[in-house]
């Protein structure tokens, strides 16, 4: 299984095509794949902290698909979304990917110890995660 960059986190979302219901994949540690954001993390203002070198989406999408045992090509990068989180260990890029299945892959999520939640079910998340979800919701729903 390929390594996932330590300076990258993903927010994973599924939008139901018929109802536009949006759900986010919640991991046991929180909302970011595949590691939690450290304590004392802060989301930069939108438009700040744009990376000078971006990670190519194909590499991290394929790695995420393999880790979650999703079909090859089932994750799509949402290129309008970009966030930088300042952490005690340095900046972390957060990207958004949508899962292109008709229905959320509940079995695959459960096998990975995850579950799909609506944004309203994320009230107990950290303020950083809530801000990342708010931005993701805006990009996906419009």
Query: Would you list the domain boundaries of the chain?
Result: 8-141
pLDDT score for 46: 74
**pLDDT by 10s per residue, the chain, length 142:** 457 788 999 999 999 988 899 999 999 999 999 999 999 999 998 765 555 455 567 888 999 999 999 999 999 999 999 899 999 999 999 999 999 999 999 999 999 999 999 999 999 999 999 999 999 999 999 8
43 contact partners, CB below 8 Å, separation of at least 6 = 83, 84, 85, 128, 131, 132
pTM recorded for the entire structure: 0.91
**pLDDT score, position 2:** 54
Q: Which pLDDT score, from 0 to 100, does residue 1 have?
A: 47
**CATH code for the structural domain at 8-141:** 3.90.79
Instruction: Tell me what pLDDT residue 47 has.
Output: 63
């Amino acid at each position: 299984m390929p390594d996932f960059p330590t300076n990258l986190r993903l927010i994973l979302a599924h939008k139901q095509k018929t109802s536009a219901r949006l759900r986010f994949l919640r991991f046991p540690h929180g909302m970011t794949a595949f590691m939690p954001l450290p304590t004392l993390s802060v989301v930069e203002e939108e438009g700040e902290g744009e990376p000078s070198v971006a990670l190519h989406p194909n590499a991290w999408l394929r790695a995420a698909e393999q880790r979650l045992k999703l079909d090859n090509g089932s994750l799509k990068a949402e290129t309008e979304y970009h966030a930088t989180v300042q952490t005690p260990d340095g900046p972390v890029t957060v990207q958004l990917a949508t899962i292109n299945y008709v229905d959320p892959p509940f079995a695959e999520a459960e096998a990975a110890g995850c579950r799909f939640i609506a944004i309203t079910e994320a009230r107990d998340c950290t303020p950083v995660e809530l801000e990342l979800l708010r931005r993701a919701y805006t990009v996906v729903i419009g």
